[in-house]
A = this chain, B = another copy of it.
Amino acid sequence: MPMARPKKPARKPAGRYHHGDLPRAMLQEAVRTIQTRGIEALTLRCVGERLGVSRSALYRHFADKQALLSAVADEGFRTLRDELLRAWEDAGRGRPGFEAMGLAYVRFAVAHPSHYRVMFGGLVPTQEEAETTADAPGPSAFQVLVNAIVEQQAAGLVRKDDPLQLAQFIWALVHGVAMLVLDGALPAAGADALVTFANERLRAGIAA
């Protein structure tokens, strides 16, 4: 029996223990589960099983289920910010850009209903530290809106109220539309029509 091929490499058992990046894998699996089977279906046990890892192992990377949900919410806010920004710029900023932003917002919520609910469902405690978190994913997405407003004010397109209050007002509007659609309060097919209507009335309300 010459040269028995060793079953395990001498130094490390196949690159760490099980995964190259377990935290990242956990986050992806959580998002996937939420998207395909809803929030109720997300259990740590199931995540561990799918990843071929003991469930206790997960606690090495996230303090608890809350922390994992927080990460899911953050990921959602980053994606949302990116899509808002792209819609705004692709439509050439200004008034058409702003309308595209509103539509993109609602479409994000409709495309990822459960993910959106994790972001706003009260499951994750928002605003832990009120300071120094201006670059956190949530505030960052909000900032895109504020910037668009300020720019339109400078261009004489929007009345010169406090940009922050204007942004809160508008965020509330699109958020409300998104939630009504998610709750089935109006047929999902009517969502775009409502956004169009809302864009008209909103413009009439905030024009300079």
A residues engaging B (CB < 8 A)?
Answer: 113, 117, 120-122, 126-127, 138, 142, 161, 165, 168-169, 171-177, 179-180, 182-186, 193-194, 197-198, 201-206
* Chain B positions within 8 Å of A126 at CB level: 183-185
Give how many copies assemble into the complex.
Answer: 2
Nearest neighbor of A39 in chain B, beta-carbon distance: B122
Interface centre among A117, A173, A186 (most CB of B within 10 A): A173
Q: Assess A180 versus B205: contact at CB under 8 Å? Given A117-B122, A121-B122.
A: no
* Chain B positions within 8 Å of A169 at CB level: 177, 194, 197-198, 201
* Chain B positions within 8 Å of A205 at CB level: 201-206
* Chain B positions within 8 Å of A203 at CB level: 205
The residue that A176 contacts in the complex, of B121, B142, B175, with Cβ under 8 A, is B175
13 contacts between A and B (CB under 8 A): A120-B179, A121-B121, A126-B184, A127-B185, A165-B194, A168-B177, A169-B197, A171-B176, A172-B179, A175-B176, A179-B179, A201-B205, A204-B206
Residues B165 and A197 in contact, CB atoms below 8 Å apart: yes
Q: Assess A121 versus B127: contact at CB under 8 Å? Given A172-B180, A173-B176, A180-B175.
A: no
Residues B176 and A179 in contact, CB atoms below 8 Å apart: yes
* Chain B positions within 8 Å of A173 at CB level: 172-173, 176
Say how far A195's CB is from chain B's closest CB, in angstroms: 10
Beyond known contacts A142-B185, A165-B197, A172-B194: 5 more, CB 8 A cutoff: A165-B194, A172-B173, A172-B198, A204-B204, A205-B205
* Chain B positions within 8 Å of A168 at CB level: 177, 180, 185-186, 194
- A169→B201 CA distance, assembly (Å): 9
Nearest neighbor of A202 in chain B, beta-carbon distance: B205
* Chain B positions within 8 Å of A142 at CB level: 185
Interface centre among A126, A172, A203 (most CB of B within 10 A): A172
- A193→B172 CA distance, assembly (Å): 14
- A177→B167 CA distance, assembly (Å): 11
